Amino acid sequence: MADTGPARPRRVCAKCDRTESYKGLCSMHYREDRNLRGTVRRRLNEDEVREIRRLAAEGVNRWDLAFTYGVSAGTITTITSRRSWKHLG
């Protein structure tokens, strides 16, 4: 059997200890959030946006940032390319 490298860390739901399946939530909590709001959204604050830009500049993968902050990889791209949050330096 070929060595596949180090095991990836187990990602868990942000609200419980189940294995995460989508946007940082297990299927139960994802459905619950979606039903409550219509869509799953996560509001970022200015400090988080600055931290995302700093980590991206250091080479952190956008998918890992998206998981960490509970947003999509596309949101990370618009933040790091300064298409959103333009007013932050």
Q: Return d(Cα 89, Cα 66) in angstroms, integer.
A: 21
Q: Domain locations in the chain?
A: 7-41, 46-80
Q: Return d(Cα 23, Cα 67) in angstroms, integer.
A: 6
Q: Return d(Cα 58, Cα 35) in angstroms, integer.
A: 37
19 and 26 in contact (C-beta within 8 Å)?
yes
- Residue burial 11-41, b: 16+ Cβ < 10 Å; e: rest: eebeeeeeebeebbbbeebbeebeeeeeebe
pLDDT digits (tens, 9 = 90+) for 3-21: 565 655 567 666 677 776 6
Is the pTM value of this prediction over 0.75? no
Higher per-residue pLDDT: 74 or 28: 74
Tokens 């600055």, located at residue: 50
pLDDT digits (tens, 9 = 90+) for 31-79: 665 555 544 556 889 999 999 999 999 999 998 888 888 888 889 999 9
The beta strands (E) that lie in 1-89 are given as none
